[in-house]
């Protein structure tokens, strides 16, 4: 597996953990050694692993949290750091997201997630979105 494929796999694991409401998987994909941060749409910035994980647990545990589909994910790698820019589809609306990863041991771990509104739409790939429908 290439580094690009591994980063895209880590990104897919993030959206899969959310779709499956898998708390253990969500916690496991975030870095335990590097500083982490998160900017949920409409929220203030969150810093530190504990605060970021708590936010995701609250979202996952909320039965009203809508499903999110990932589209058009593109990875860029710079040494031991990588980022993925993608579109998130929520109830037919789109956000653009950036997910940042660091190489820890043999895997890529998330250190930052940010999503916000966009007027753009993804190029819908033939394979379909990543998320609960696949």
- Do the domain assignments include residue 124? no
Q: What is the 3-state secondary structure (H, E, C) of 81-114?
A: EEEEEEEEEECCEEEEEEEEEEEECCEEEEEEEE
Q: Is the pLDDT of residue 129 over 50?
A: no
Asked if the structure places residue 41 within a domain, the reply is yes
Please report whether residue 126 resides in a domain.
no
Task: Judge whether 123 lies within some domain.
Answer: no
Whole-structure pTM value: 0.89
Q: What SS3 state is found at 127? A: coil
Beta-carbon contacts of residue 59 (< 8 Å; ≥ 6 apart)? 18, 40, 65
On whether residue 26 sits in a domain, the answer given is: yes
Q: Is 102 within the bounds of a domain?
A: yes
Within 8 A by CB and 6+ apart from 32, the residues are 49, 104, 109
Is the pLDDT confidence value at 125 over 70? no
Cross-strand partners of 114: 39, 98
Q: Give pLDDT, residue 38.
A: 98
Residue 127 lies in a domain: no
Which residue do the tokens 């041991």 mark? 105
| CATH code, domain with 86 | 3.10.450.50
Q: Which domain holds residue 31?
A: 3-116
pLDDT tens per residue, range 42-78: 899 999 999 999 999 999 999 999 989 999 999 999 9
- Residue 90 C-alpha from the chain's centroid: 14
pLDDT(1) > 80:
no
> Three-state SS for 131?
coil
Q: Convert the pLDDT of each residue in 81-120 to its tens digit.
A: 999 999 999 988 999 999 999 999 899 999 999 999 998 8
How many distinct structural domains can be found in the chain?
1
Whether residue 72 lies inside any domain: the answer is yes
């Amino acid at each position: 597996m290439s580094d690009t494929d591994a980063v895209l796999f880590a990104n897919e694991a993030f959206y899969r953990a959310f779709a499956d409401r898998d708390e253990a998987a969500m916690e496991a994909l975030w870095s335990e050694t590097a500083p982490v941060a998160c900017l949920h749409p409409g929220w203030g910035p969150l810093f530190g692993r504990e605060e970021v994980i708590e936010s995701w647990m609250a979202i996952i545990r909320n039965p009203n949290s809508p499903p999110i589909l990932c589209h058009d994910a593109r990875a860029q790698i710079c040494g031991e750091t990588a980022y993925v820019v993608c579109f998130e589809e929520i109830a037919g609306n789109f956000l653009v997201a950036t997910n940042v990863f660091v190489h820890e041991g043999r895997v890529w771990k998330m250190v930052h997630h940010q999503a916000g509104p966009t007027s753009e739409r993804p190029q819908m790939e033939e394979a379909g979105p990543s998320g609960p429908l696949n």
